Chain A
Amino acid sequence: MLSIKAFMNTSTEPVLNFRTGCCGGSHRLFDLNLEIQVKNLGTKPVTISGGLELEGVRGVKRIDTLYPPGPREIGPGEIASFYCIMDETLWSASHTLTFVDKEGNRYRCPAGRG
């Protein structure tokens, strides 16, 4: 069972901007203004894909540009955050954010006006 929370204009954005690329890194992560915290409340690990669905008045939009990228296994009691650049207009026109695990289970949380 996953708990999902989304935070638009997250306070992590300036931290990612400022701290990434340290110690010889060559790139920095700017403008990742949406943070999605995914917490595993169950007793078994859950693997989610590296993307999400955003549903709203414009239909369903698939977003695959999450950071960190790729599938992610989240252990029981663990929390994993994902970040992306989110257009304010798209966000405010959306009402539901959905992650899907590798078994096809869907986990939702309110988005934008939701």
Chain B
Amino acid sequence: MASGIKDKVAILGMGCTKFGERWDMGGEELMVEAFTECLEDAGIEKNQIQAAWFSTCFDEVGVGKSATAMAVTLRLPNIPVSRNENFCASGTEAFRAAVYGVASGAYDICLALGMEKLKDTGYGGLPQPGSSFGTLNWLWSANGTAPGLFAQLASAYAAKYRISDKDLKRAIAHVSVKSHANGALNPKAHLTKPVSEDQVLGAPIIAYPLGLFDCCGVSDGSACAIVTTPEIAKKLGKKKKDIITVKATQLALSSGYEGGFNEWQGEHFVTTSKCSTAAYKEAGIADPRKEISMMELHDCFSITELVTYEDLHISDRGKAWKDSLDGFYDRDGKIPAQIDGGLKCFGHPIGASGLRMLYEMYLQLHGRAGKRQLENPRYGLTHNLGGVPHQNVCAITIVGKQGD
């Protein structure tokens, strides 16, 4: 009988670069920057790492296929290194693999590193998928763009719950205002200026009802984690109160149910709903609205974050927009979301974002989040979504102090 991952694996150290248009560095240098911080934080030597996982999505415009780019860049001593790619959830996939590597007993210490370098591709957006998109996806998402497909999520959500355009726009505007206020406190974010509700509401529409501030941009950046067992962490000198453990790490992928559009109404993420249920069960969380202290969600679009409040079973169905406007997810609210500024302020280097989210939870649990520090957080949740509403990958991780 499987017993889950709870408290079997500890995060020994983490590192994260400043995100943004990093013209000053190539992908390799970004990896080195994140890894150097992580290694120092972990307090170990590089040769103590026994296996590693590398997440990068767009190898065509990045550092190429396979994991050799990371193995060579970090001069890893001929250990197993694998590359993970699972759309925008790639970063959490690398983390999950490293965690399972330790939990299985196969390795004592593992590394997960995510990196993406997208701003050198000649334009600001996702590279054209071309033949790497497969053969059937063109049929599932003909002429689809990310803003267009997520805008449909917003329209479906508003239609199902009879929410007026004005209320929906204000609710998703608040999502962005809140995240930019948080990002203004984070020196590693790219966009560090607060914005007002009027700025968000007046900004040009990208795909109605999503405007400029409702959409995140792709970016450059790298983040990483070194994991081990709690026992080894203790032997390496970490005090029990300083050991952050993984309470749950779950993954759910679309089955094709949504894409058939027969029953699914397009207003929520089936995967997130199921993945979060499994994660709470694994972590032993009965009431997430009361027990989760903070979250980093995949706010690729403001509506994604809003709908996710409900799919995480924290806001009631059809009520997330009210919780947003009531400040429930603000930094001084009950469950602060995007405390580091989220994808809105960091941008989205695909392979790195999941680990960047975990980095903030890790800093917060250690009391090292500077001006953003929350008071006594207990459980931190990350939600890393890849794909589009009708066909996606959802990765959820919950972390907290050992034994808590």
Q: Does B191 contact A (CB under 8 A)?
A: yes
Of residues 71 through 114 on chain A, the ones whose CB sits less than 8 Å from some CB of chain B are 77, 79-81
1/0 per position for B203-223, CB-CB distance to A under 8 A?
110000000110111110000
3 closest A-B pairs by CB? A81-B202, A11-B193, A22-B125
Contact check, A12 vs B125: say whether CB atoms are below 8 A apart: no
Q: Does B21 contact A (CB under 8 A)?
A: yes
Pick the interface stretch among A13-21, A42-50, A51-59: A13-21
* Chain B neighbourhood of A18, CB < 8 A: 20-21, 124, 190-191, 217, 219, 347
For chains A and B in complex, what number of residue pairs have CB atoms within 8 angstroms? 80
Q: Does B166 contact A (CB under 8 A)?
A: yes
* Chain B neighbourhood of A26, CB < 8 A: 123
Chain B residues with a Cβ closer than 8 Å to the other chain, count: 31
Of residues 7 through 55 on chain B, the ones whose CB sits less than 8 Å from some CB of chain A are 20-21
Which of A19, A24, A79 contacts B128, CB < 8 Å?
A: A24
Which of B145, B203, B204 contacts A23, CB < 8 Å?
A: B145
* Chain B neighbourhood of A23, CB < 8 A: 125-126, 145-147
Q: Does B253 contact A (CB under 8 A)?
A: no
Starting from the known contacts A11-B193, A23-B125, A24-B125, 16 additional A-B residue pairs (CB-CB under 8 Å) come to A5-B198, A10-B199, A11-B195, A12-B199, A12-B212, A14-B193, A15-B191, A18-B191, A19-B124, A20-B212, A21-B125, A24-B128, A28-B123, A79-B201, A81-B199, A81-B204
* Chain A neighbourhood of B218, CB < 8 A: 22
* Chain B neighbourhood of A68, CB < 8 A: 204
Q: Does B194 contact A (CB under 8 A)?
A: yes
* Chain B neighbourhood of A25, CB < 8 A: 123-125
Please give me the residue from chain B that is nearest to A26 by CB atom.
Answer: B123
Given the complex of chains A and B, what is the CA–CA distance between A39 and B195 in angstroms?
A: 17
Contact check, B198 vs A39: say whether CB atoms are below 8 A apart: yes
Of residues 140 through 167 on chain B, the ones whose CB sits less than 8 Å from some CB of chain A are 145-147, 166
What's the nearest-Cβ distance from chain A to residue B19, in Å?
11
Contact check, A22 vs B215: say whether CB atoms are below 8 A apart: yes
Q: Say whether, besides A15-B212, A79-B202, A81-B203, A21 and B124 are in contact (CB < 8 Å).
A: yes
Given the complex of chains A and B, what is the CA–CA distance between A22 and B201 in angstroms?
A: 20
Contact check, B217 vs A22: say whether CB atoms are below 8 A apart: yes
Which of A11, A14, A28, A38 contacts B194, CB < 8 Å?
A: A11
Given the complex of chains A and B, what is the CA–CA distance between A12 and B194 in angstroms?
A: 9
Please give me the residue from chain A that is nearest to B207 by CB atom.
Answer: A23
